[in-house]
Amino acid sequence: MRYSVHQWYRHEADQSKSIQRLSSGLRINRAADDAAGFSVSIRMNANIRALRQAQRNVQDGVSLTQVADSALSSMLDHLHRMRELAIQAGNGALTAQDRSVLQDEARLLIRSLHSIAKQTTFNGRALLNTGTEGTPAIPGTPGTPGTPDIPADPGTPDTYEWRPSSATSGGSIDVRYLTQYQFEVSGGADVRNLETTIQLSAEFVRTSKRGPDKQKNLSVTILDSDNRPVQGSTTLTQFPSTSSYSIIGLSPGRYTIEFNSTAAKWGNYHHLNVSVTQNFEEKVRVPGRPPTPGIPGTPGTPGTPDVPATPGTVESVRLQIGANPGDFMDIELSQVTAQSLGIHNLQITDSHALDLIDGAIAKVIGERSKYGAYENRLTSHYSFLDTQVINQTGAVSQIMDADMARESIAFVRSQMAQQASLVAVHSALDLYREYIKTLLTPPTQFPGVQQSLNRKEEALYSVTLKVEEVQ
């Protein structure tokens, strides 16, 4: 009987578990059901919830880019209209009043552009008017160069050089009274004789008609200081006559020119002009350059450095697009006010108006392309997150969800086993009652046996009550 009761309790516990799994649809309802599986499922459920929130974040990012793109589309319409006005203003047939009307419309469009940039927000966050404006570069001023130092001049010593010079001497000689002429050749350490030129100009003077003309000869001899002839004698036979002698390298000293005339025998004579020219070099002192002190240069004045341009700053929005730390995506916002586009003071009649408008259009197109790229990336990432959620949900289902067919079979099996246990318990109780009745009429002389039988009857009654409750 005890075994049957134990089996009945065990099947009751199994039936309770099967009822819990069938009613909840989960295989793991508490950690005791599967400790490892419960831990894994809790983490995966947390990750699935994070992924679903990341999907909502991605949807917010897509909405943000769409708001910015629609505003930039309106700005492009304004800029295209401004370009039309600038081209229309170039029509020479328009009057000044007509161009003023066009300028008024352009001014209103510029204000509208500024309003769009300031009023485009997403959940109170400005999208097209963020950050700060940059500043242009400021060129510096060049410095003035200084003057270099003038070095000291040590000067130069005195030098000596040979300089050409000449001296001429001479006279008129009547050969009747003077038969020689002396001249001095300079010399010494500071004089260097080069060439001595002796020029004679002779004339025959007839004072008597006696004698033939052939006796009108004149002999000339040049002697040194030792009366040695420097060169052979020269005889002049034709008059008037001029002779020149160039003697190179005469040593310093006194030289003599002797004349011997045959005309004096006949009362006639020669008249002679002598010219002695000496070409020589003199050693002349050339004073050197005196030393001069150095003169320091003057320092230059430094210029001012260039001030570099400062780029404008643009804010960004950070989105958590994943379930893990670091799964971020930054969306860079824009600064497309009329001032940042460079058209806040636009005059559509200026020659460069079209260039300014085209530059603004190019910048707005670039911003639209940027937001379009952000939207494509976010949309693609949303699909990725959706796939992650589906896969991880399936994995959790494999761990957590109950197999309904198996649990139904287990429930029926435990229910049938419990009923069989109840039948066994009833049969045992019936036998036990017969046994108790037999024992309840003992002799009165054994009071201890009577007390033991009373206790057994109470226990049997409590078991019977429990069996009846189950039924």
- C-beta of residue 381 within 8 angstroms of C-beta of residue 57: no
Cα separation, 325 vs 318, whole angstroms:
13
pLDDT at position 18 is: 65
* Closest by Cα among 175, 154, 305, 150 to 239: 175
Angle ∠(79,82,88) on CA atoms, nearest 5: 150
Task: List the pLDDT tens digit at each of the 471 positions of the chain.
Answer: 454 555 555 656 666 666 666 666 666 666 666 777 777 778 888 888 999 999 999 999 999 999 999 999 999 999 999 999 999 998 888 898 999 999 999 999 999 999 999 999 998 889 998 876 666 567 777 878 878 878 887 778 877 777 777 777 777 776 666 677 777 777 666 676 667 777 777 766 666 665 555 556 667 777 777 777 776 556 665 566 676 766 766 677 777 777 777 665 555 666 677 777 777 677 777 777 788 887 887 887 887 887 776 666 778 899 998 888 888 999 999 889 888 888 888 898 888 899 999 999 999 999 999 999 999 999 999 999 999 898 888 887 777 665 566 766 666 666 666 566 666 666 666 666 666 666 655 544 445 545 555 565 555 556 555 545 544
DSSP string, 52-109: HHHHHHHHHHHHHHHHHHHHHHHHHHHHHHHHHHHHHHT-TTS-HHHHHHHHHHHHHH
Angle ∠(113,118,122) on CA atoms, nearest 5: 120
Q: At what angle do helices 404-439 and 447-470 cross, to 10 degrees?
A: 150
The token pair at 264 is: 């004096």
Cα separation, 439 vs 452, whole angstroms:
10
Task: Identify the three-state secondary structure at position 253.
Answer: strand
Cα separation, 183 vs 254, whole angstroms:
6
- C-beta of residue 38 within 8 angstroms of C-beta of residue 28: yes
Residue type, 314: V
DSSP string, 268-321: -EEEEEEEEEEEEEEEEEE--PPPB--BPPPPPBP-PPPB--BPPB--EEEEE-
DSSP string, 155-183: ----EEEEEEEEEEEEEEEETTT--EEEE
Cα separation, 71 vs 337, whole angstroms:
12
Contacts of 175 (CB under 8 A, 6+ apart): 218, 259, 261, 263, 264, 269, 270, 271, 272
Q: Is residue 241 left, alpha or beta, with left meaning phi > 0 and alpha meaning psi from -120 to 50?
A: beta
